[in-house]
Structure 1
Amino acid sequence: MTLIRLNTFNVLFVSLVVVTVGYVKRTPWLPIRREIKTSIGYPEDSILNFTELTRKYGYISEEHRVITDDGYILTMFRIVKARNCHKKKRSPPVLLMHGLLLSSDCWIDSGPNAGLAYLISDACYDLWVGNVRGNYYSRGHVHLNPDKNAEYWKFYIEEIGIYDVPAMIDYVLAHTGFEKLNYIGFSQGTGTFLVMCSERPEYCDKVQLLISLAPVSRQLNTKSWIFRTLTQACDQMESVLSMYGIHEVFSKGEFTQEFFGFFCHQSDVAQRLCGTIIDVFEAVDPSHLGSITNETTRILVGHFPSGTSLHNMAWYGQSMKTRKFMKFNYGKKQNLVVYGSEQPPAYNVSATTVPVLCIYGNDDGVVDVKDVEWLMSKLPNVLESVKVDVRLWTHMDVPYSQYTGDTIFPKINEYLYKYTKV
């Protein structure tokens, strides 16, 4: 039995090192230059950034820089002109936040007929789209160099919730002149909001509606064995990998991401295989016909994954081993130093007093129904909890499905309208 465990551990360790090194290894020839990608037939949408891609489809976006209290430089985008809105924008503003390993691009990669950023803007809402620390849009700091200073990467959802989300809320409200905004968070985008309300409850009062899409809190029942294995291996091996200088993982423009970006656009067979890989990751039967088109897959691999810290991935591994939504577990001795107790404290989920609409899928392999229901039972002001009535609606369908306009957007629009003035 001991030998089997050692062999399993060795396989996990080697696999993790191969995958993570592939996502952090920097060489003179990466990332592949844009003109080379264009010349060998990459889809244009996979190469363009947020402002370029929205402009292509008739939308005008602004880029904004936000500095957090701890010095991280974040990038936000605001769609100031929508293609299909020809009247005054509704108020207050809407802040849309991505999930783990994603960026603002995830909300537009499925195109103007399905991308949630496009749909919200076309409904005449003043939309702001955030990017949290560590992804390729927000990979900056006033003092720290992310390529040289390991300290830059010592963050997890705690810091994102305490610093990033409040900084973006303050910026949007100061820029627009409103006292409150409406917030839409996908996956980690909700988890960090819960952290904010627990640790800085005064910011909860600056939000009048939370729309929670496949929310992350604890992940005790996650079905995705790939996600579970990878994140728990990150937790177990964080100190070893850090010794070898691995602090940033799954970054855009590095070897593995560039490989998939190249491979997934080669042929129809390759595109279908890439779609199958997404299904396997989600622990979904790969024979099913998903709602993410081959064309969207070809585009999203140009922007995904967008990077995060090894420390953040390690926290996700821990979140699958506890019945509570808890802070990082550093071990009993270090916990005593950091928290004053041998066990890490749980976040005060009940501090999220803002009205909540929750939308989730029955076949989500990352955020399981049981964990969503557990979270909703802890929140004091749930207006409605909606299970998407589509067979095999998965985690990645939320940002990338071709059916967003028919599945989740009508309910999102209904509640935004209730909490909006024209």
Structure 2
Amino acid sequence: MSLIKMLFGRENWFLVLVLILVGLEQGIRIATILLPNRIRLWFYNKSQRLYLWVFPELMCDGMVGAMCSAKDTVDLCGIHGYAVEEHFIRTSDGYLLCLHRIMPKIKPKQSPSPRPPILFVHGLMMNSEVWVTNMKRKNNLPLVMCDEGYDVWLANLRGNKYSKKNSRYPSEKKDFWDFSLDNYIVFDIPASIDYVLSVTNRDKINLVGFSQGSIILLAAMSMHPHSYKSVNALLAFAPTISPKYYQSKIVQAIMNANSQFLFLLFSRKSLLASVTFWQAVLYPPVFAKIIDLSLNFLLDWSSKNINDEQKVVSLSHLYSFTSVKAFIHWTQIVRSKVIQMFDDNPGPQTSYYTNLNRIARYPVENIKLPILTVYGASDSLVNIDVLKTVGDHFEDFIKVPNYEELDLLFGRNCYEDVYKPTLEKFNEIARPQSSSSASTSSSKAARKVIA
């Protein structure tokens, strides 16, 4: 009993359950790896037959099969007829990051004032693929904006499948994974913005973030005046600082757990790296069904706006690598309800502020920038009231009824329900403004909500 109190700070048996489940999963994975290939193939075929005995076949659709088989962002965009350029940049601390530039499928409309480039930043445990996995072309926001004349770039933050290189450390080493959200903010975002502006020979850029990506962009703007001055506007999808509620006691226990316990639970390297293994050995609809049920149990996401075929496609491209430290940093932000820097204090009772310790926070309230926030009314992870306390610069909101977080990307009616009203508003606020008019706009006290 004393050991449990020491590890958890209180008797929290949900964390004990998590520890048991993680250990059980690792044991099954190791045992499966040791099996001969013919045994693993037998298991794959049996999982397929079992699934088809209960559910209809989804892989017979040619589009589903093609998009599930797509190896990368280049292939996914190619299915819709768009070519993609891959660019690589090196951060000052040695990480090699991949940027995807989507080339226009049709010739952009001529304009006396061409639109500036726009950079998309993905969320936690994701990569650039999440933006372009919808089977309907118009339901992929980067493709729509490319057609409208934007120069579209998709970022890949350090650690994911496209940015898994470092000039000093191989990804097998623990040192490679020793990064938090601070490293994204201090190194990755400024380097990506500077590179895009350099290649396009432009002095202004627009930004789009999803979930954690929105928070990272906000923090980066508060830390880098040079990059901040180059930004026209920010489009923030489902920025997650604090959830509205916890559906699962397991999730609540993890989010409130001591950082040192989470390192003990998940290691100090890549978070949930075994997901890619199970994705490889399971029939795609089986893998998608497991993920779908898990999201419903853990986050109360029903995904009613996403059809079954789309789930098979999008969930097969949803996960990518990130560090355990980055995840722990996010849990610290969720607990404190403040966009703060990583708390290195290993003590059992971490908090944003005590009489002994004050964790440095990002001064996002100083940002004077047009920001459009889009969120789903049914998203358990987005507490819009907490977001409004971050700063007065959150003035424009689009609230999408009956939508959850992933619905904003994978929903069957994304264009009509989300992107069409979002683009109308974003194109309005993203127009270059003079310094005086921008200052006046940013000082408005009233907040406008489009429901």
Give TM-score, length-normalised by structure 1: 0.82
From 308, 317, 321, the equivalent of 2:335 is 321
From 368, 387, 410, the equivalent of 2:399 is 387
Does the C-alpha gap of structure 1 residues 234 and 363 become closer, same or farther in structure 2, counting only changes over 3 Å?
Answer: farther
C-alpha distance in structure 2 between counterparts of 1:55 and 1:231, whole Å:
39
Deviation at 1:164, TM superposition (A): 0.6
Residue identity opposite 1:353 in structure 2: K
C-alpha distance in structure 2 between counterparts of 1:21 and 1:129, whole Å:
37
From 7, 14, 17, the equivalent of 1:11 is 17
C-alpha distance in structure 2 between counterparts of 1:205 and 1:344, whole Å:
27
Partner in structure 2 of residue 414 of structure 1: 424
C-alpha distance in structure 2 between counterparts of 1:23 and 1:185, whole Å:
34
Q: Identity of counterpart residues, as a percentage?
A: 22
Root-mean-square deviation (Å): 3.4
SS at match of 1:133: coil
Give CA-to-partner distance per residue, 1:199-256, whole Å, 9 cap, x none: 2233211111011111133x264434354444545834244257xx651013487323
From 131, 136, 151, the equivalent of 2:161 is 136
Instruction: Count residues with an aligned counterpart.
Output: 392
From 236, 246, 253, the equivalent of 1:223 is 246
Deviation at 1:384, TM superposition (A): 1.0
Partner in structure 1 of residue 437 of structure 2: none
Partner in structure 2 of residue 256 of structure 1: 278
Partner in structure 1 of residue 357 of structure 2: 342
SS at match of 1:321: helix
Does the C-alpha gap of structure 1 residues 323 and 45 become closer, same or farther in structure 2, counting only changes over 3 Å?
Answer: closer
Give CA-to-partner distance per residue, 1:361-382, whole Å, 9 cap, x none: 22112222xxx33323433433
CA contact 1:30–1:255 (8 Å) conserved in 2: no
Q: Does 1:240 align with 2:264?
A: yes
CA contact 1:220–1:322 (8 Å) conserved in 2: no
From 358, 364, 368, the equivalent of 2:379 is 364
SS at match of 1:155: coil
Structure 1's unaligned 5+ residue stretches are 32-36, 336-340
C-alpha distance in structure 1 between counterparts of 2:406 and 2:392, whole Å:
28
CA contact 2:329–2:342 (8 Å) conserved in 1: yes
Partner in structure 2 of residue 338 of structure 1: none
C-alpha distance in structure 2 between counterparts of 1:76 and 1:373, whole Å:
34
CA contact 1:228–1:320 (8 Å) conserved in 2: no
CA contact 2:215–2:339 (8 Å) conserved in 1: no
SS at match of 2:317: coil
Deviation at 1:88, TM superposition (A): 4.2
Does the C-alpha gap of structure 1 residues 134 and 51 become closer, same or farther in structure 2, counting only changes over 3 Å?
Answer: same
C-alpha distance in structure 2 between counterparts of 1:72 and 1:66, whole Å:
8
Deviation at 1:277, TM superposition (A): 3.5
| Bigger Cα Rg | 2
C-alpha distance in structure 2 between counterparts of 1:170 and 1:302, whole Å:
32
Deviation at 1:300, TM superposition (A): 2.1
CA contact 1:85–1:123 (8 Å) conserved in 2: no
Q: Does 1:50 align with 2:82?
A: no
SS at match of 1:358: strand
C-alpha distance in structure 2 between counterparts of 1:209 and 1:59, whole Å:
25
SS at match of 2:139: coil
Deviation at 1:328, TM superposition (A): 2.0
Does the C-alpha gap of structure 1 residues 194 and 24 become closer, same or farther in structure 2, counting only changes over 3 Å?
Answer: farther
SS at match of 2:373: strand
SS at match of 2:397: strand
Residue identity opposite 2:156 in structure 1: N
Give matches, 1:20-419, under 5 Å.
43-48=65-70, 49-82=72-105, 87-88=109-110, 90-111=114-135, 112-148=137-173, 150-217=174-241, 219=242, 221-225=244-248, 227-233=251-257, 235-241=259-265, 246-251=268-273, 254-259=276-281, 262-265=282-285, 274-284=291-301, 286=302, 290-331=304-345, 342-368=357-383, 372-388=384-400, 390-391=401-402, 393-418=403-428, 419=430
Deviation at 1:81, TM superposition (A): 1.9
SS at match of 1:113: helix
Q: Highest relative contact order (Cα 8 Å, sep 6+), 1 or 2?
A: 1
C-alpha distance in structure 2 between counterparts of 1:79 and 1:136, whole Å:
18
Does the C-alpha gap of structure 1 residues 23 and 237 become closer, same or farther in structure 2, counting only changes over 3 Å?
Answer: farther
CA contact 1:97–1:130 (8 Å) conserved in 2: yes
Partner in structure 2 of residue 34 of structure 1: none
CA contact 2:101–2:152 (8 Å) conserved in 1: yes
Residue identity opposite 1:356 in structure 2: I
CA contact 1:182–1:416 (8 Å) conserved in 2: no
Deviation at 1:301, TM superposition (A): 2.9
Does the C-alpha gap of structure 1 residues 73 and 27 become closer, same or farther in structure 2, counting only changes over 3 Å?
Answer: farther
CA contact 1:98–1:188 (8 Å) conserved in 2: yes
C-alpha distance in structure 1 between counterparts of 2:341 and 2:381, whole Å:
19
CA contact 1:93–1:126 (8 Å) conserved in 2: yes
Does the C-alpha gap of structure 1 residues 272 and 312 become closer, same or farther in structure 2, counting only changes over 3 Å?
Answer: closer
Partner in structure 1 of residue 435 of structure 2: none
C-alpha distance in structure 2 between counterparts of 1:169 and 1:276, whole Å:
37
Deviation at 1:60, TM superposition (A): 1.1
Does the C-alpha gap of structure 1 residues 20 and 128 become closer, same or farther in structure 2, counting only changes over 3 Å?
Answer: farther
Does the C-alpha gap of structure 1 residues 115 and 135 become closer, same or farther in structure 2, counting only changes over 3 Å?
Answer: same
Give TM-score, length-normalised by structure 2: 0.77
SS at match of 2:86: strand
SS at match of 1:265: helix
Structure 2's unaligned 5+ residue stretches are 5-9, 38-43, 49-58, 351-355, 433-451
Does the C-alpha gap of structure 1 residues 314 and 333 become closer, same or farther in structure 2, counting only changes over 3 Å?
Answer: closer
Give CA-to-partner distance per residue, 1:89-126, whole Å, 9 cap, x none: 84201111111111111111112131222222222211
